[in-house]
Amino acid sequence: MSDHQLQFWPDVHNRAEMVADIFTDAYGSEREKDATFLKSLCMAPVCFGMIAHIDQKPAGFILLQQADDSADIIEISVRTALQNKGIGRQLLEQALSHARIRCLTRVLLEVAVTNQPALKLYRSAGFSLVGKRPQYYHQKSGKIDALVMAHSLKEADEV
């Protein structure tokens, strides 16, 4: 994916419908309740994020929720046809940059233990394991543990 085609828009508050549309494309209409929930989160003042566009068309998004000096990644979604092209990685990098601008000290996330591509992405981006939530996700195959990961945004000399 060439960089000149990919643009990032930092305003999710006025693009909640776009966020829900990308999420539904990535996960299917059976997760409509989750898409509706994400739309409501987009409107919350404590939430921020990015929408990636390719040739002015929405391709993916990342949504975070700030609490004091940290933020939780609520969701990263990329349209099905555009997955595995580095868009998720670039969204994550953009979000970490914006978290630094907001003077946050760390970013947290939860990921299913079975989601190996996401785990690889998060580890390569500097996230480390800080906890585990047993039987956190409900999937068709049963309940699955979530790993809690964190990325410190403090400079090395501040730690």
Q: Does one domain contain both 39 and 74? A: yes
What digits encode the pLDDT tens for the residues 31-42? 889 999 999 999
What digits encode the pLDDT tens for the residues 96-117? 999 999 999 999 999 999 999 9
Q: Does one domain contain both 113 and 129? A: yes
Q: Residue 50's beta-bridge partner residues?
A: 62
CA-wise closest residue to 144 among 123, 118, 108: 118
Domain at 43, CATH number: 3.40.630.30
Residue 155: phi and psi, rounded to 5, are -70, 155
Compute the C-alpha angle 10/43/112, nearest 5°. Answer: 75
What digits encode the pLDDT tens for the residues 47-58? 999 999 998 899
The span from the CA of 29 to the CA of 112, in Å, is 21
Q: Does one domain contain both 88 and 126? A: no
The two three-digit tokens of residue 61, written as one number: 């998004």
The span from the CA of 76 to the CA of 87, in Å, is 10
Token pair 């049963």 in the structure block, residue: 142
Q: Does one domain contain both 100 and 112? A: no
Q: Is residue 159 part of a domain?
A: no
The span from the CA of 24 to the CA of 30, in Å, is 8
Q: Does one domain contain both 114 and 73? A: no
Task: Give the pLDDT score at 90.
Answer: 96
Task: Give the pLDDT score at 1.
Answer: 53
Task: Give the pLDDT score at 154.
Answer: 84
Per-residue pLDDT at 92 exceeds 60: yes
Domain end among 104, 124, 144? 104
Q: Which domain holds residue 125?
A: 105-154
